[in-house]
Amino acid sequence: MTQASSPAARGHYFVPAASRYSTYLSVGVFLTALGFIFRINGTPAGIWSMLVGAALILYVVTGWFGELISENLRFFRK
């Protein structure tokens, strides 16, 4: 890639807007893993931790992809 074709040389650098979904996804993965560890050790709260973590991950996936799809639809409707 040459200097002239890089985004910095053209004066444009895209920075996406801040999103809360990355934090929610991290918490969801942590709760799922924690629940799995609790479940292996026989702690009854493990299943609930896994369910809450899985629900949080599902929320993030549907919300984040929903925003992506709506942004793309807005772009094509212009």
pLDDT digits (tens, 9 = 90+) for 31-53: 999 999 999 999 999 999 999 99
In a domain, 5, yes or no: no
Output the pTM of the full model.
0.71
CA distances from 19 to 69, 70, 72 (A): 15, 15, 17
Question: If you ran DSSP here, which 8-state letter would residue 4 be given?
Answer: T
Domain count, the chain: 1
In a domain, 61, yes or no: yes
Residue 12 is encoded by which pair of tokens? 């444009």
pLDDT at 3 over 60: no
- Which domain, by its residues, includes 46? 21-77
pLDDT-based confidence at 10, cuts 50/70/90?
A: low
pLDDT-based confidence at 7, cuts 50/70/90?
A: low
Residue 18 CA to residue 67 CA, distance in Å, equals 13
